Amino acid sequence: MGGADQPDRAAWLQGPAAHCNPQPGKTENPWRLILLGPPGVGKGTQAEMLHLRLHACHLSTGDVFRAAGARKECDLSPAMKAALEYMRRGDLVPDSIVWEMVLERSGCLRCGGGFLLDGFPRTIHQAESLKRLMENQNIPLHAVVNYELPQGDIVQRLSGRRTCKECKAVYHVTERPPKIADACDRCGGALFQREDDRPESVKVRLEAYEEKTAPLTEFYRGMRVLLPVSATGTPEEICERTVAALEARKAKTPATGVPHS
Active site residues: 43, 122, 161, 194, 205
Strands 226-230 and 143-148: parallel
Binning the chain into helix, strand and coil, the percentages to the nearest 5 are 45, 15, 40
- What Cα–Cα distance (Å) separates residue 53 from each residue in 10, 84, 118, 173? 21, 33, 16, 29
Give dist(CA 223, CA 200) in Å, integer: 35
Residue 30, CB-side half-sphere exposure with 13 Å CA sphere: 21
Give dist(CA 39, CA 108) in Å, integer: 25
Beginning with the edge strand found earlier in the chain, give each strand of the sheet holding 191-192 in spatial order: 170-172, 161-164, 191-192
- What Cα–Cα distance (Å) separates residue 258 from each residue in 45, 86, 221, 254? 25, 36, 12, 7
Give dist(CA 153, CA 157) in Å, integer: 6
Residues 6+ apart with CB under 8 A from 109: 32, 59, 115, 117, 133, 134, 137, 139
